[in-house]
Amino acid sequence: MINLYATQIESISIHRVGNKSKGEALFLSQQPYSPDDETAGLLKEYFLRPFREKEENYFRLDHEADLEFNEVYRQVAEVFEDPSRLHLISKKLGTHLYEQSMHPHIKSGELYVAHLTDVIIDSEKTDAIGIFKSELKYDFLQFREEQESLDILVQQGVNINKLDKGCLIFNTGKEDGYKVLSVDSNRYDTKYWLEQFLGVVPLTDENFYTKNYLKFCQNFAKDVVLPAEDKQQEVLFMNRAVNHFAKNDAFEETAFLNEVMENPELIPEFKHYKVEKGPKYSIEDVSNFDIANKAVSDTRKKIKNVIQLDTNIQIKMDFINPESAEKFVEKGWDEERQMYYYLVYFNKEQKG
């Protein structure tokens, strides 16, 4: 979990990186940029807001031969050793990004490389390197007084409410390739940013496994539980799955299946589904791992716990107390109407 509210930009360098395949230039500033307090505040919000709003999917820098061959890894390691080298290193990163800008879809733009301090990650204070890129330019209006009237000037600039690309490389886990977060608003060239420039792979930690296993369970519920039983049981299965994760510190698959799978006939189906679909979520060989509480909370917020009926009626289940749905909601078939029904028991209506 990260906290970026107290984070400060200690130093920053700005360059312009063109599309090399189109013959566009690489412009490297000779001096670092020195923002005033107002500009520094705007840049901080521009750079960091997407990471506060985004789900935390961590990566790590990697290389198929050896980590030392990863260009970004080598350069940021030097900055962490000696932050005064940031501007020199930023030029090398700008050159590296330019060399990867060979696809015609890649847009030219400004590259910002910043040294950030007072970053909180996993309850520890550290520093980080931020690498950001602005690509899309937007029209905006400026107004100028001309004697007795206002004149309109149409100009182009960067929308500071939307960062096009960015990553934070935290000064932690150096031996494994550091912890990295990335954002990319423009999906047409994802490989260029993540694979060719940064050279990252997913960080397979407890957050990764917790999140992916629960995503796998969601798809199992939709693809297997729903057709075999009904929507109520699909929702209840995910209720039990999330609650199992929420009340345990470590995951063990056999204990999970015994508690969550009320219909024992679905256990072999689950195992078969894992063989078939597990590789998609990188959990095919995973049956034990520590549970990340934040990943459980994030998943709980996203899972739909509503039965949507074709009669424009919704039945919302309670994720915290799934036993209520089992005790007080019954499904049946009405022969006279030739329709299914849900029978809901209650003592009184709640105000609210």
Q: What's the chain look like in SS3? A: CEECCCCEEEEEEEEEECCHHHCCCEEECCCCECCCHHHHHHHHHHHHHHHHHCCCCCEEECCCCCHHHCHHHHHHHHHHHCHHHHHHHHHHHHHHHHHHCCCCCCCCEEEEEEEEEEEEECCEEEEEEEEEEECCCEEEEEEEEECCEEEEEEEEECCCCCCCEEEEEECCCHHHCCEEEEEECCHHHHHHHHHHHHCEEECCCHHHHHHHHHHHHHHHHHHHHHHHCCHHHHHHHHHHHHHHHHHCCEEEHHHHHHHHCCCCCHHHHHHHHHHHHHHHHCCCCCCEEECCHHHHHHHHHHCCCEEECCCCCEEECCCCCHHHHHHHEEEEEECCCCEEEEEECCCCCCCC
CB proximity list for 309: less than 8 A, separation 6 or greater: 315, 342
Instruction: Specify the residue for token string 């509480």.
Output: 293
| pLDDT for the residue numbered 325 | 62
Q: What are phi and psi of 40, to 5 degrees?
A: -60, -40
- Which candidate, 209, 201, 244, 241, places its Cα nearest to that of 225? 241
- Which candidate, 127, 149, 29, places its Cα nearest to that of 79? 127
Contact 210, 292 (CB under 8 A): yes
Contact 295, 211 (CB under 8 A): yes
Q: Is the dihedral of CA 338, 343, 349, 350 positive or negative?
A: negative
* Cβ-based neighbour number of residue 156 at 10 Å: 9
How many residues are there in the chain?
A: 352
Instruction: Enumerate the β-bridge partners of residue 153.
Output: 142
Q: Which residues of the chain have pLDDT under 70?
A: 188-190, 304, 317-326, 352
| pLDDT for the residue numbered 315 | 76
| pLDDT for the residue numbered 171 | 97
Tokens of residue 290, six digits: 């520590």
pTM: 0.79
| pLDDT for the residue numbered 190 | 64
